[in-house]
Every structure is written in C-alpha cells, then in structure tokens.
Chain A
C-alpha cells in the first residue's frame, strides 16, 4: 500500500496513450468462463473533454466494457488506459479521479442517502474526512436530493436512487465520469433531469462517458459516439461523422412515378423505391440538379424534389441490427 501513498498529489494528467484521450483501449476483449465472448477486441478512444455516448442494444457488451474500465472485470486480452494510466494496474492511482455509476444504483437500503454517500466516501483512501460532510452536502445538492438526505434509501423512488448514484460519482472533483445507463427505468421527466445533470458535469470540463441503449436519450448531449454490436465497436467518431455516414437519397414527387423510376434506374441510382406519387433512390455520386434535368428532359413533371438524410435513429438501427439479432 505504500506505493499508493503518492498518487493523487503526484503526476500531472498528461496522457500517455493517445494524446488528449481520457480513455483508450486496444484490442480489449473479455471472454467469460462460460465461453461467451462478451467484448471482442475493441479499440476505443474517448477524447478528453468530450461527452462520449456509448451506444448499443442490451447485451452488446457495453456494461462488460465499462466494468473493465473501472477494474471490476479483468480483460481476457488487450489493454486499456484511463487518463493515461494503464488499468487495472494503476487502479489505485487513477480511479479516485474517475467517478462512476455502474449498471444501476446499489446502496444499503437501511441507511439514509447521506449515510450511503458517507460509506462510499469512507472507502476512498484519498478523500479528506474533514471535508466529507461538505462534499456530501454539495453532491446531494447538485443532484437535487438535499431535501431527502436523511431519508432511508429503501424509501427512495427509482429516479432518486439513480440520482444518488450520480451524486456518489460527484463526491470529489473528477476528470472523468462514467455513467452506465443513467436513465434506465426513468420516466421522461427523470430522463430530462439526468440529461441536464450530464450537461452541467460536462460544462465543468469533465469528460463524460455515458452508455445507453437508446440513442434518442443521449444524442442531444453527445459530442462523440461509439456504437457496440455483439461485442464489437462498429462505429466510433463524432456525432457529425455518424450523420455524414448516412447515404443521401433523392426523393421526387411526381404524378408519373413509374416513369420517373425508370429514369432513375437508367441513371444508375441504387435502391429505387416507388410509391404513390413519389419515387426515391440513393443519390450516390450524382448531383440532384443533374437528376432533375434528366427527369425534365424525359417529360416527367417534377412537383417536388428533396435530398433527405436518414435520421440518426435509422443509422443507429442499421449499425446495431433490428430487433432480436443482438447475438449471445
């Protein structure tokens, strides 16, 4: 334990792996004892200062990855760094700078919210007991639980429990906050509150990694996203990069949909779809004005034309697969 003593006061937050990254993993894999490959060689980079949405259906390996990040699960292979420190070896040094909520709140039902936070704080060997009361108070205030500080945890609503878990991750100033499904089971009101909290955490310059199986819950607050599917990271980049990935389509409103579809076909556009009074296709490399000219030259009355991009939701579903094919 003597080697740990130096830590929190020591090294600057210079990152050794990818410069400016709060989290980097390389070929990170986890195979459980049952043989199930839960995480399959992911290379994750969470830029410092970003709000990173870690997305994927339930069972896609998000929670296993997060548990490896905070040292609860030992990777089968690969490596990972938190704030430039290799894990799990550097856990004692780096984890005090990382707040986390892992797979839902878990506290002692017989204790009050305040006493539960005191318990968590007592476990932190780098926390100053002299400031504990003040820190617990301000963490509770931040999540709006000050009025329920003395209430027993068992009497908390699900939203309050979730917020208490977030308060536990804010007991000390952090450089990285990891929130695993912080909106799980919350009503729309609670979801909005949590989003507001995440915004306020990120506004202080803290990197936030937030996982969710619902893109809609996090797309408003994320700067970056990573998308998991059956243990693999199938997309990683900025939200703009994800949007740009969507193939643009061209959609034409016309009375002669059948004839228009033929023209689009001869122009070599893929995925031509025909509906009543409307026809659409993937635009590919063609310019929309060029397509329009060809249609007009073919004597097709063009009543309207636009080039929609698929919604993020569509892209997300395309990446993660529909319904039940999440694999096991």
Chain B
C-alpha cells in the first residue's frame, strides 16, 4: 500500500471530524471530569461545606448580641435577625485563607501537575494545541472557583435557614428589602467573589506553567495571596492598596447597601479583569514557547 492509499484509507476510517467548538467543549468536559473526580478536590469542596455549617452552629450557640466592635460586628448583628447573613459572614471569613487555598490548589496544579507526571507531552503530541489546552485549563479553574463559592454560599444559606430566623433582609445601610431581593443579592455576591477567585486562578495558572512541581506552584500562589492581604493592611502603603490582587475581594459588601455602590464593584471587576489578562498572557507566552522536557 502506498503512503497516499494509506492516507485515504486512514481518513475513511477516522470518522467525521467534529467542529472546533464541539471539540473544545469535549476537552473541557474531560478536564472538568479530571478536576471534579479527583479525591483531593472533592475533599476541599467538603471542607467548604463543613466550615460554614460549623460557623453557623458556633454563632448560634454563642447567640451574638452584637456591638462588640469587632470587624464583622455589623454582619454579626444582622445574623441574629436573619440567617441569610451567614452566607456573607462565611464568605468574608473564608476569603481570607480557605477559598484562596482551594483555588490555588486547582490552579497551581493545572499545568504543573501534567508536566510533573509527563501527561502533558502526550496531550501536546496528540496535538491538543498549547493555546487550546491553556484555555481549557483556565476555564476549568474558573468553573471550580465558581463551584467553590456556590458550595460555601449554599451551605451557609442552608445552615442559616436551619439555625436562625429567615425573612425580609435589613441591609447594612438600614433599608429593608424582601427576602427574594436579598437572595438575588446573594447570587450577585457569589458571582462577584467567583470573579475575584478567577483572577487568582489566572495568577495560579501562570505560576503553574513555570514548574513541574505542583506543590511549589500551589504554595507560591498562596504566598502571593497572603502577602497581598498583609500589604493591604499596611497603612503606610495605602496608595498601592487598590492595585493589590486581593484588595477588592471583600468589596462585595457594596451589594449589601442601598443604593448599590456600583463604582466600587466596577473597580473590583476591572481589577480582576486586568489581573486575569496580564497573568493569562504570561501563562500563554510561557507555555507556547517552552520546551517540554518532562
């Protein structure tokens, strides 16, 4: 059989060629399957269920009276009157370390894990396409970050409803809105926090393209997040605060005021977008030029 004959026969047996979009979603499904079926990642999501529930029980048992002057005192005050505030409280607390950790694990592992195990050379020889693989990897990180936020809020809402009264929501600005509007605001807050996590995920994917060791990548992302939070609390460099990657994470409380402080929210989303674009560009530049020797 000549090479040309072999080629024709090969194509006849290869079946129909899918569209580029369908093929991209097939790879994304495969990637999401890997991420969500991995025991370690499932354990992380389980932690995100347990923590808000535990928080709710502890607060219920200590029955907060409020006015203790702590940083979350206003949220604590509100919680006694409405279980929905457990969602805001849980997000506020978990955003300092646990949510960034969860995103850092999945993002830091995304490329480094495949490089470390050598599977990346088989994906690229297929060829999966370096840009295409990166886009799928990052999308999976964003989806996992969103899932993490939904899990936290879902668990907190369920625990809040079980442990505290639920009804019309009195916002931080003093206005009272119906429960349905309160839940709608919870939804927007979840999406806003997920956007912040997506920006962190972009940093994580970029770091992940630099090494074959996922643990190193994960630790680096976490150090970046914590260092940024620390710097955000140093008043001497307050001029730099708005440019820190974590600075706008907690600005979701703008959605708990009436009228909603859209300027702050847009600043936050702009910051997340800029971080995502910069770090995805770095990741792309690195991955598309790197020699794959693992």
Residues of A within 8 A of B (CB): 1-2, 4-5, 8-9, 12-15, 20, 22, 32, 48-49, 67, 70-74, 83, 91-92, 95-98, 100, 102-104, 106-111, 118-120, 122-131, 165, 168, 172-175, 204-207
Contacts and interface: CB of A to CB of B under 8 A. Distances in A.
A72 B124 contact: yes
Contacts of B27: 122-123, 125
Given A72-B292, A123-B27, A1 B20 contact: yes
B17 A8 contact: yes
Contacts of A5: 19-20
A48 B4 CA distance: 10
A32 B11 CA distance: 37
Contacts of B7: 12-13, 97, 175
B121 interface: yes
Nearest to B294: A106
Given A67-B121, A102-B122, A173-B13, 12 more contacts: A70-B124, A71-B127, A72-B292, A91-B127, A96-B127, A109-B117, A110-B38, A122-B26, A126-B14, A127-B18, A173-B10, A204-B6
Contacts of A102: 121-122, 125
Contact of B119 (A108, A126, A206): A108
A1 B292 CA distance: 22
Interface of B: 1-11, 13-20, 22-24, 26-27, 29-30, 34, 37-39, 117-119, 121-129, 132-133, 289, 291-293
A68 to B, nearest CB: 9
A2 B173 CA distance: 51
A69 B268 CA distance: 46
B41 to A, nearest CB: 11
A2 B17 CA distance: 14
A95 B127 contact: yes
Nearest to A20: B3
Nearest to B13: A173
B20 A125 contact: yes
Given A1-B132, A128-B15, A128-B16, A71 B125 contact: yes
Contacts, number: 157
B126 A120 contact: yes
Contacts of B118: 103-104, 106
B125 A14 contact: no
Contact of B30 (A48, A98, A123, A206): A123
B30 A2 contact: no
Contacts of A110: 37-39
Contact of B17 (A22, A98, A108, A126): A126
A91 B131 CA distance: 13
CB-based closest 5 A-B pairs:
A106-B118, A128-B15, A205-B1, A173-B10, A13-B7
A14 B4 contact: yes
A4 B23 CA distance: 12
Contacts of A74: 289, 291
Nearest to B22: A129
B31 to A, nearest CB: 8
A175 B289 CA distance: 27
6 contacts: A32-B291, A67-B292, A71-B125, A92-B127, A111-B34, A128-B18
A73 to B, nearest CB: 4
Contacts of B19: 5
Contacts of A119: 30, 34
B136 to A, nearest CB: 9
A72 B17 contact: no
Contact of A13 (B4, B22, B37): B4
A127 B14 contact: yes
B38 A174 contact: no
Contact of B123 (A73, A120, A207): A120
Contacts of B2: 49, 205
A254 B8 CA distance: 63
B228 to A, nearest CB: 31
Nearest to A108: B119
B24 A128 contact: no
Given A70-B125, A92-B129, A175-B6, A122 B292 contact: no
Given A74-B291, A122-B29, A128-B17, A175 B10 contact: yes
Nearest to A205: B1
Contacts of B133: 123
Contacts of A168: 122
A205 B5 contact: yes
Contacts of B24: 125
A165 B119 CA distance: 11
